Structure formats: structure tokens, C-alpha cells
Amino acid sequence: MPSPRSFLAIVAAIACSAPIFAQTPPPVLAAIREASAHLAEGHPHNAVETLERQLSAANGDRDFTAALRAAYSAELKGILDPVLQDRVKAKLALLETPAAETKSTGPLPPPVFGPATTPVPTATPEKPAGDWIKQATNAFNRAKSTEPSQFLTARDLFNLAFRNKVEMTPEQTAAWAYCRLKVAADKLNKSTDAATAADVTGEVEAALRQVPNHAALQEAGRDVLAVARPRAGNRAIPKVDAGVSAGSFLVKGSNDGAFTEKLVLAAEAKRAEIFARWSGPPGGPWAPQCELVIHVDAAAFERATQLPAGATGRADVKLRDGVALSRRIDLRADDPNLFDDALPRELTTVILADLFASQAPPKWAELGMTVLASSDAEVGRYLRTLPRCDRDGDLPSIESLLKAIEIPAKGVTGFHVESVSLVDFLVRWQGEKTFTAFVRDSQRYGAESALKRQYGVKDFRQLEETWRANVFAARK
């Protein structure tokens, strides 16, 4: 089952982009027809899934948007969980949001990088083409009002928008350049060494190339360079581009710029995708950021994490009263499946700490959800092992699986493969968000009661019979 993309970004494109196709593309038209059939049969969730698979291809098609709106409206009528109701309402609200009119903010006032409080540019997402721009402009506006530290966050998010080829208005470009200048000047003010001055020089020169005709920013940038260049002396000025850091991630241990950039962009995209899959769009960039620590090979990874040889990733989140104090993911640079398996798997673990901040999900659910974030090949490896474990009597009963507090010392393989199979089965049956609601209900009312609420299953025995009838019958 394909994972839904970040819906906030997609809806922004639907609301604001002109369709590329003069007519509805055939796959999109087929999806609309299939969704209509699902609605007629009383299966709105299936209609939603069918349409969401074509979100990218639809590219703002009006018939598609109308069908998606109808599917969400029908799905909303059958949802009892208030959290899920809010999620669907938010999606409907986004679909109803019209494209904003483009407004000119006029010339930008000259920025001041000293202690003075001269007003800074105003950035508004006139043509929101993605979550990066919305988050960047929100951070920028918070920075100029009450939170100066947000200039760094805004800069990183504008960087990401640029890297993702998101078109910016002149005002947004100017705001981005201002953030780069402000952060560079603050860095220069805090240090007198030549290396820092060289870094600042490269960053400021790059920022000024973005706004060659903006007199105020050019003047402010020259003021910073007048201090930075002499301080740098003969130190080589590094080549600085739009940057690779992101609002939610901080990469450590990598000296390969291309790899770091690819990792940051992949992590941001996967973060949005995983949040959307199990709950809804992320509320904003993580604070504190999630550290992505890269180890050169298996030996270095083992020394740093104390995990057995062969492990490819580790995630660690420290919480206090439901609030994250730190987030960290350790990865191996020599892992050929880093982007397909290790990164999304460990990232899911970190995201689950957000989705279940007050109480961690049961081990079987966490195992299944993290593995399902991996590639089809990795998921298939678990599912193919299931029949052998069943023949050998290594599978626990569904009741003992759902009641388990920890992974048992014996029958570890059976516990793992059954966890993945059961989560996969429940997700295919009623979707990811229903599964998330089921796990939350299990924590509140118990697993058996949650089965009745979310799946209409009366007890553990009926779930086991249903699961076996579907999973093993499909393999005969």
C-alpha cells in the first residue's frame, strides 16, 4: 500500500497551481470513477485512499478536487474518534482554502544587524507552493516580532524550499536573503577567529547574489563584509550555496556535502510522509532538532551504539512529561539501504514518540509500524518468514501478542514477524489512521474493547480467525 504524501503540501498545490493538463489525466479520471464506486458502496475510506494515490498526478484538477472533497465529507460522517474527526476536518478546510491573492509589500527597509530594532522585511506566502514556504514565512514573522532565534529556522526552511525547487516571490527571496545576512552577522559578532570570518564572508556573498538589485540588502551585506573580509585574512573563503541543514534535522559526522544534502532532504520528506500516513501533517519543524549522526562503517557504528554487528540504525528520544528533550538517529554511511530501510524505520520510531508522547505504543505495534516504513523488499522478508514460524509453532497467539509488555526472550522471530503481519493486515483492512486510533483506544480501554470500537471485532479469537483466514489463505 503506498504511503500518503504530506497532505498540507499537496493541498497547497491544489489550491494555488494552474493545472498542467488541459483535460483530466486518464489515471486521475479512473481514480475518480473508482472512488465514486466506493462511495456508492458505502466505503468512503477506500475512496479516500484511491484518490490520495493520485494527488500528485491530479495537479489541481477541479473534478479531482471535488471528488476528494466528497470522499472526505463522507468519511467524516462515519468517524467517531474526535482526533480523527479533527484530522479529516483539517483536510477539508485545506481543500476549501482559496488561492491567496498576490500582494506587493513594497520596498524592504534596510536591515540593521546591530543592537538597533529597525523593522525587517515582511514575508507572506502569497503563492504557497509547499510546506517549506509556509513554515519559513511563519518562522520569519515570529523572528521579527518576538523570537529573534527563529531567523535561523526561517533561513533553513527557505534553504529547503530552494532545494526543492519551490518558486519564491521577490518578497520571499528578500526575506530569505535577510535571514542569511542576519544569521551570518550574529555569527560574526560572537567570534573573532579567521575561520568564522571566512565562513561568514562566503555566506554573505552568496546571499547578496540572490538579491542583486535590492539596494538596502546590498548595502547591509557590504557592511558585514567590510568587517568579515579583513578578519578572514588569507583564510580560504569556502564555497557557500543555499545550505543543506533543515528545520527538523542536524547532520553530524558527514564530510560529504552531496550525501549530507541528500540525507537532509530525504529525512524531511520522509518525516512529512510518515506523519501524514499515521496521523496527519506535522505541526511544524522539530524543536529540538533530530540529530542524524553518521558513522563511517559497521565497526564505528558498533563502537558508538553498543549494538551488535550488522545493525544499521538506532533511534533515541528522551522525553520529560510528554515533551521531547532530545532526538537522535544513528546511521551507517556504508549501508546500501540507508535511504530505503534504515532512515524511514528509525524516523518512524522518533515520530511515534510525538504521536504517543504520554504513553509509548505496545512493542508489537511499534515493531509493525517501523518495519512498514521500510521498502517492500524488507517488509516482504518478514512476511515470507511467517509461514515457517507457523509450521514450527513459533507464533504467539494474537491475545498474548496484543497483551505483551515486552518482546519475549523466547520466540523472538515469531513475535517480530507476527507483529509485522498483523499491523500490515489491520492497515490494509481499515487504513493507517484507524490503526493509530485503535492503538490509542487500546491504551485507554484495553485491546479487546478497542477491537470492537475500531474494527467491529468482538474478541481476540475472532481477530485471530480473521487474520489467519486472510493472511494464510492468500499464500496458499
In tens, the pLDDT along 296-312 reads: 888 889 888 888 778 99
Q: What's the CATH architecture for 244-354?
A: 3-Layer(aba) Sandwich (3.40)
Distance CA 321, CA 276 (A): 24
pLDDT in tens, 240-250: 433 355 678 98
Q: Would you call 114 helix, strand, or coil by DSSP?
A: coil
Q: Quick one: 220 exposed, middle or buried, by C-beta within 10 A (0-12, 13-18, 19+)?
A: buried
CB 261 within 8 A of CB 254: no
Mean pLDDT score of the chain:
79
Q: Which helix (H) or strand (E) holds 294?
A: strand 290-295
Distance CA 123, CA 169 (A): 9
Distance CA 232, CA 137 (A): 32
- In this predicted model, which residue has the larger pLDDT, 199 or 127? 199
Neighbours of 228 (CB within 10 A): 25
CB 315 within 8 A of CB 350: yes
Q: Quick one: 307 exposed, middle or buried, by C-beta within 10 A (0-12, 13-18, 19+)?
A: middle
Distance CA 460, CA 448 (A): 6
Query: What would the mean pLDDT of 221-225 be, rounded to a whole number?
Result: 87
| Most confident listed range (117-121, 197-201, 309-313, 402-406) | 402-406
Domain range list for the chain: 7-96, 131-232, 244-354, 359-476
Distance CA 471, CA 276 (A): 26
Q: Quick one: 371 exposed, middle or buried, by C-beta within 10 A (0-12, 13-18, 19+)?
A: buried
Beta strand 323-332 with 313-320 is antiparallel
pLDDT in tens, 244-279: 556 789 888 877 777 888 898 899 999 999 999 999
Neighbours of 388 (CB within 10 A): 12
pLDDT in tens, 336-387: 999 999 999 999 999 999 999 889 999 999 999 999 999 999 999 999 999 9
Q: Which helix (H) or strand (E) holds 327?
A: strand 323-332
Neighbours of 113 (CB within 10 A): 20
Q: What's the confidence (pLDDT) of residue 462?
A: 93
Q: How many residues does the chain have?
A: 476
Q: Quick one: 404 exposed, middle or buried, by C-beta within 10 A (0-12, 13-18, 19+)?
A: middle
Q: Which of 31, 123, 17 is nearest to 70 (CA)?
A: 31
Question: Backbone dihedral region of 106: left (phi > 0), alpha (psi from -120 to 50 degrees) or beta?
Answer: left
Q: Which of 456, 429, 87 is nearest to 278 (CA)?
A: 87
Distance CA 355, CA 317 (A): 13
Cell of 310: 550488522
Locus of grid cell 515570529: 142
For the whole prediction, is pTM greater than 0.75?
A: no
Q: Kindly state the DSSP code that residue 2 receives in the 8-state scheme.
A: P
pLDDT in tens, 17-65: 333 333 567 778 888 888 888 888 788 888 888 887 777 666 667 778 8
**Amino acid at position 368, single letter:** G
Q: Which residues, in sequence order, are CB contacts of 245 under 8 Å at separation 6+? A: 156, 159, 251, 264
pLDDT score of 238 more than 60: no
Distance CA 301, CA 298 (A): 5
Distance CA 169, CA 210 (A): 12
Distance CA 360, CA 382 (A): 23
CB 401 within 8 A of CB 422: yes
Distance CA 287, CA 149 (A): 12
| Most confident listed range (222-236, 280-294, 358-372) | 358-372
